[in-house]
Amino acid sequence: MKSFIVKLTGITLAIAIISGLVFSLAFPEYYIQVLPFLLLFFYLTTMGIHAYLLKMAKKDLGKFTRSYMLITTLKLLGYSVLAVVYMVFDKKNALPFVICLMLLYLIYTFFEVIEITRITKSAGKK
């Protein structure tokens, strides 16, 4: 878990720096004030889900697979609800928010899948 947190923190810092540069240099008119909170939300959510999945992978690989599929579905549904709620309250910044949400979802999900795959492969070999 410690290795995961270090990598997750590195990715989050890289995203913060890159997004800061993109929004300050190229697209300042599309910057949304909630972006730092959105980044923190993804960071904490990914860390919590990963910790839970690690516990499940240690117990039973079959149960882990079902849990992973359920969590992925719920996570996608939750992020979709978040996007809709944001669009209702801030129509002006809806498009930049949804684009940022989608990019963060893809980046963090890709990272999570790589890490979980690596862990489950090593757990399956034991």
Kindly report, residue by residue over 40-70, the tens digit of the pLDDT. 999 999 999 988 888 887 777 777 888 888 8
* Residue-range definition of the domain harbouring residue 64: 2-125
Q: What is the pLDDT of residues 75-124, one digit of tens each?
A: 999 999 999 999 999 889 899 999 999 999 999 999 998 988 887 776 55
Which of 9, 16, 21, 8 is CA-nearest to residue 37? 16
Q: What is the pTM of this model?
A: 0.84
The domain total for the chain is: 1
Long-range contacts of 93-102 (CB under 8 A, 24+ apart): 93/32, 96/30, 96/31, 96/32, 97/32, 97/34, 97/38, 100/19, 100/32, 100/35, 100/38, 101/38
